[in-house]
């Protein structure tokens, strides 16, 4: 066996239906008593804030404040506005509840203040399990990694995903799958990461179609949450490559929605790298239904079965943006199993823009 290194991230995980009710106990274990609660903008964010108010009140605890202001791509101006409100409160920790945007804001505030962070994810983004923070400022997205960015406690409760629409379940779950796929061919891949990645892909490949068939299937939603947790762990311990590079380029520069962009790009990025990773392609095919040993075929069928949009133009990307995105992608070199070839990368982006099926011929 080849030598390898594997870093275990130290988050505490509380998993299970009804686990949100353990929040006050977890806050006390951190030595805290007055959390700042973060949610997203809109009705869902308000409902999440109300839920945590009720949970905390049952244990004679209350939030220092609730901020319903998280938006996608964690814009620095939003973080700075939240930071000013945080400083005006007597908060001694941060609790974020929601999807990746809320988790991102929680991370951004935690790393700036040193406050401990309890995260309650309601989607399958996996961000809660990574020491990575992506932020946008003036149209440019940057990422940084620091162990202190990792949330201190993560509470998984599938009950909180029951209201998540099937369409959002699908794209959020595919986003999680993308983390695991890239980990299999990352420059720092190792046997432990591979096990977690393949199990995560398998669980999500089983759970997402089940949710699509019966949105009330709580067992399937719990399975998807478990798979997303594994994929998030993988993301937090692996170096990402072409897929995430393109998604950061497209999302941060063109303001495209995060999970939708990952959903569209995944099969195309995998097809681009396919000639350089035959062993990994076999492993991916082994955990995808209907693949017949062909990972690209299996992934195309899986995406079509879920009925997700496969065209970036559906989310506002213009045809003239293809060259701009190519230029940005080529200017930011990541480690990738296949060398970055401009014409082929442009064709990959064009296919993702138009909504064509992925093919390993670029």
What is the mean predicted confidence (pLDDT) over 275-302? 96
Report the share of the chain in percent with pLDDT over 90: 78
Q: What is the pLDDT of residues 320-355, one digit of tens each?
A: 999 999 998 898 777 899 999 999 999 999 999 999
Let me know if residue 359 belongs to a domain: no
Q: Among 179-183, 191-195, 328-332, whose mean pLDDT is lowest?
A: 328-332
pLDDT band at 1 (very low <50, low <70, confident <90, very high): low
Q: C-alpha distances in angstroms, 140 versus 112, 143, 166, 252, 316?
A: 20, 10, 31, 5, 17
Same domain, 207 and 238: yes
Q: What is the pLDDT of residues 296-317, one digit of tens each?
A: 999 999 999 999 999 999 999 9
Residue 192 has pLDDT above 90, yes or no: yes
For the chain, helix (H) and strand (E) counts, in that order, are: 13, 8
Same domain, 117 and 186: no
Same domain, 302 and 207: yes
pTM given for the model: 0.88
CATH number at residue 62: 3.40.50.1970
- Identify the helix (H) or strand (E) that includes residue 13: strand 12-15
For 154, the domain range is: 12-161
Q: Where are the alpha helices (DSSP H) in 238-294?
A: 242-254, 258-273, 278-287
The three-state secondary structure class of 289 is: coil
Q: What is the pLDDT of residues 61-95, one digit of tens each?
A: 999 999 999 988 899 999 999 999 999 998 999 99
Instruction: Name the domain boundary from 122, 137, 161.
Output: 161
CA distance 298 to 303: 9
Same domain, 123 and 178: no
Task: Output the pLDDT for position 145.
Answer: 87
How is the chain split among helix, strand and coil, in percent rounded to 5?
Answer: 55, 10, 30
Rounded to whole angstroms, the maximal C-alpha distance in the chain is 61
Query: In this structure, which long-range contacts are made by residues 47-50, counting pairs with CB atoms below 8 Å and at least 24 apart in sequence?
Result: 47/163, 48/97, 48/98, 48/122, 48/160, 49/97
Question: What's the domain count of the chain?
Answer: 2
CB contact set of 207 (below 8 Å; sequence gap of 6+): 173, 220, 221, 223, 224, 227
pLDDT band at 114 (very low <50, low <70, confident <90, very high): very high
Instruction: Name the domain boundary from 137, 161, 185.
Output: 161
Task: Output the pLDDT for position 3.
Answer: 77
CA distance 297 to 301: 6
Same domain, 303 and 247: yes
Instruction: Name the domain boundary from 161, 195, 213.
Output: 161
CA distance 114 to 345: 40
């Amino acid at each position: 066996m080849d030598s390898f290194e594997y870093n275990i991230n130290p988050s505490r995980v509380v998993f299970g239906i009804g686990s949100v009710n353990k929040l006050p106990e977890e806050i006390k274990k951190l030595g805290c008593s007055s959390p700042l609660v973060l949610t997203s903008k809109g009705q869902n964010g308000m409902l999440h804030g109300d839920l945590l108010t009720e949970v905390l009140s049952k244990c004679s605890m209350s939030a220092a404040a609730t901020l319903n202001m998280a938006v996608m791509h964690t814009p620095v101006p939003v973080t700075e506005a939240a930071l000013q409100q945080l400083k005006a409160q007597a908060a001694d920790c941060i609790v974020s509840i929601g999807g990746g945007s809320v988790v991102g804001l929680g991370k951004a505030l935690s790393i700036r203040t040193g406050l401990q962070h309890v995260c309650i994810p309601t989607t399958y983004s996996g961000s809660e399990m990574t020491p990575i923070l992506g932020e946008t400022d003036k149209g440019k997205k940057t990422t940084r990694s620091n162990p202190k960015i990792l949330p201190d406690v993560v509470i998984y409760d599938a009950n909180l995903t029951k209201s998540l629409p099937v369409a959002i379940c699908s794209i959020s779950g595919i986003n999680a799958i993308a983390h695991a796929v890239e980990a299999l061919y990352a420059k720092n891949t190792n046997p432990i990461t591979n096990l977690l990645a393949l199990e995560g892909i398998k669980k999500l490949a089983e759970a997402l179609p089940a949710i699509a068939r019966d949105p009330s299937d709580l067992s399937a939603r719990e399975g998807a949450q478990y798979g997303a947790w594994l994929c998030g762990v993988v993301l937090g311990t692996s170096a990402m490559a072409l897929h995430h590079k393109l998604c950061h380029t497209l999302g941060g520069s063109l303001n495209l929605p995060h999970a939708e962009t990952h959903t569209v790009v995944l099969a195309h990025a995998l097809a681009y790298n396919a000639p350089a990773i035959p062993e990994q392609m076999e492993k991916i095919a082994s955990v995808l239904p209907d693949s017949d040993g062909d990972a690209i075929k299996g992934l195309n069928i899986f995406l079509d079965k879920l009925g997700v949009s496969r065209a970036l133009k559906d989310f506002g990307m213009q045809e003239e943006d293809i060259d701009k995105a190519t230029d940005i992608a080529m200017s930011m070199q990541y480690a990738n199993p296949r060398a970055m070839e401009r014409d082929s990368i442009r064709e990959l982006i064009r296919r993702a823009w138009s909504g064509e099926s992925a093919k390993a011929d670029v």
